[in-house]
Amino acid sequence: MKKNDNKKSGALFVGLGIFLSRIAGLLRERVFAHYFGNSDAGDAFKAALKIPNFLQNLFGEGVLSASFIPVYAGLLAREHNDNTPDHEHHLEASKVAMTIGTLMFLMTSFLVVGGIVATPFLIDTIAPGFEGEKRQLTIRLVQIFFPGTGLVVMSAWCLGILNSHRRFFLSYAAPIIWNAAILAVLVMYGKGTSQYDLAIIAGWGLVLGSFLQVAVQLPTTIKLLKYFRPRLDTKVIHVKIILKNFVPSIISRGVVQVSSYIDNVLASLLQSGAVSNLSYAQLLYTLPISLFGMSISASELPEMSSIVGSPQEIYAKLRERLQRGIQKISFFIVPSICAFLILGDVVVAALFQTGKFTDKDTHVVWIVLIGSSVGLLASTIGRLYSSTFFSLKDTRTTLNFAVVRIFFTTILGYLFAFKFAPMISTDPAYATAGLTSSAGLSGWIEFMLLKNKLNSIIGKTGVNWRYQSKLWGCALISAAAGLAIKWFVLKGFLTHPIPRATIVLGVFGVLYFALTYVIQIEESQGIINKIRSKLGRK
* pLDDT per position as a tens digit, 82-100: 544 456 667 888 888 899 8
- The amino acid that residue 311 corresponds to is P
- Cβ neighbours of residue 91 closer than 8 Å, sequence gap 6 or more: 226, 227
In 3D space, the residue among 57, 45, 27, 24 whose CA is nearest the CA of residue 276 turns out to be 45
| CB atoms closer than 10 angstroms to residue 30 | 17
- DSSP code at position 417: I
Q: Which secondary-structure segment (H or E) carries 343?
A: helix 311-352
Verify that 286 and 412 share a domain, yes or no.
yes
Verify that 521 and 432 share a domain, yes or no.
no
Verify that 438 and 529 share a domain, yes or no.
no
In this structure, what is the dihedral angle of CA atoms 518, 520, 526, 531, given to the nearest 10 degrees?
10
Please check the confidence at residue 68 and state whether its pLDDT lies above 80.
yes
Verify that 416 and 517 share a domain, yes or no.
no
Mean pLDDT of 447-458: 95
In 3D space, the residue among 507, 503, 516, 510 whose CA is nearest the CA of residue 474 turns out to be 516
Distance CA 55, CA 111 (A): 8
Q: Which among 401, 435, 463 is the end of a domain?
A: 463
Verify that 459 and 474 share a domain, yes or no.
no
Please check the confidence at residue 186 and state whether its pLDDT lies above 80.
yes
Q: How far is CA 157 from CA 38, 164, 266, in A?
A: 35, 11, 33
pLDDT top residue among 252 and 181: 181
Mean pLDDT (the chain) is 83
- The amino acid that residue 511 corresponds to is L
Q: Are 341 and 253 in contact (CB under 8 A)?
A: no
In 3D space, the residue among 360, 358, 365, 356 whose CA is nearest the CA of residue 284 turns out to be 365
Verify that 65 and 176 share a domain, yes or no.
yes
Q: Which among 429, 463, 497 is the end of a domain?
A: 463
- The amino acid that residue 498 corresponds to is I
Q: How far is CA 285 from CA 61, 80, 277, 304, 333, in A?
A: 19, 40, 12, 27, 11
Region of poorest pLDDT, from 264-268, 460-464, 522-526? 264-268
In 3D space, the residue among 182, 199, 193 whose CA is nearest the CA of residue 137 turns out to be 199
Verify that 128 and 168 share a domain, yes or no.
yes
| CB atoms closer than 10 angstroms to residue 517 | 17
Verify that 437 and 384 share a domain, yes or no.
yes
Question: How many structural domains comprise the chain?
Answer: 2
Q: How far is CA 123 from CA 52, 127, 264, in A?
A: 11, 6, 12
Please check the confidence at residue 5 and state whether its pLDDT lies above 50.
no
Percent of the chain whose pLDDT exceeds 70: 87
Domain boundaries, position 219? 2-463
Verify that 198 and 249 share a domain, yes or no.
yes
Please check the confidence at residue 331 and state whether its pLDDT lies above 70.
yes
Verify that 383 and 501 share a domain, yes or no.
no
- Cβ neighbours of residue 373 closer than 8 Å, sequence gap 6 or more: 285, 337, 340, 341, 440
Overall size of the chain counted in residues: 538
| CB atoms closer than 10 angstroms to residue 498 | 11
Phi-psi region of 268 (alpha: psi -120 to 50; beta: other; left: phi over 0): alpha
pLDDT top residue among 47 and 7: 47
For the chain, the helix, strand and coil percentages under 3-state DSSP, each to the nearest 5: 85, 0, 15
Mean pLDDT of 232-255: 77
Distance CA 386, CA 399 (A): 10
HSE-up of residue 444 (Cα within 13 Å, Cβ side)? 13
Verify that 418 and 522 share a domain, yes or no.
no
Distance CA 475, CA 333 (A): 10
- DSSP code at position 137: H
Whole-structure pTM value: 0.74
Verify that 188 and 231 share a domain, yes or no.
yes
Q: How far is CA 251 from CA 382, 397, 401, 403, 429, in A?
A: 18, 12, 12, 9, 32
Which tens digit of pLDDT belongs to each residue from 385-405? Answer: 988 998 888 888 888 898 898
State the pLDDT at residue 327.
Answer: 92
Write phi, then psi, for 111 (nearest 5 degrees). Answer: -70, -30
Write phi, then psi, for 332 (nearest 5 degrees). Answer: -95, -30
Distance CA 95, CA 420 (A): 55
Q: Which among 463, 494, 518 is the end of a domain?
A: 463
**By CB neighbour count within 10 A (0-12 exposed, 13-18 middle, 19+ buried), where does 536 fall?**
exposed
Winning range, highest mean pLDDT, from 9-18, 117-126, 494-503: 494-503
CA 37 to chain centre: 23
